[in-house]
Amino acid sequence: MRFTAQLITYYLLLITYYLLPITYYLSPTTIILSLFNQNITIKSITFEKFSYICSVSSLHFIRITF
């Protein structure tokens, strides 16, 4: 029973500190807002720009968590 409680606590911490920020930073709304902040139109989204936004978001996430 104690192991189960520790496991549940571990999963809750994992969801709180890692999965929720990742889903926020990589959500389509955040990516679109980031594209607008860089004065890029929606029509000109390419894979390179998308991967750049994802990498910037992940670096920002790492800076916040550490």
Count of beta carbons in the 10 Å neighbourhood of residue 19:
11
Cα–Cα separations (whole angstroms), residue 39 to 3, 32, 34, 54, 55: 51, 11, 9, 17, 18
The stretch 27-45 carries a mean pLDDT of 57
Euclidean distance between CA atoms 2 and 48, whole angstroms = 48
* pTM for this predicted structure: 0.28
pLDDT digits (tens, 9 = 90+) for 3-28: 677 777 777 766 666 666 666 666 66
The stretch 28-40 carries a mean pLDDT of 59
Higher pLDDT among residues 17 and 39, named by residue: 17
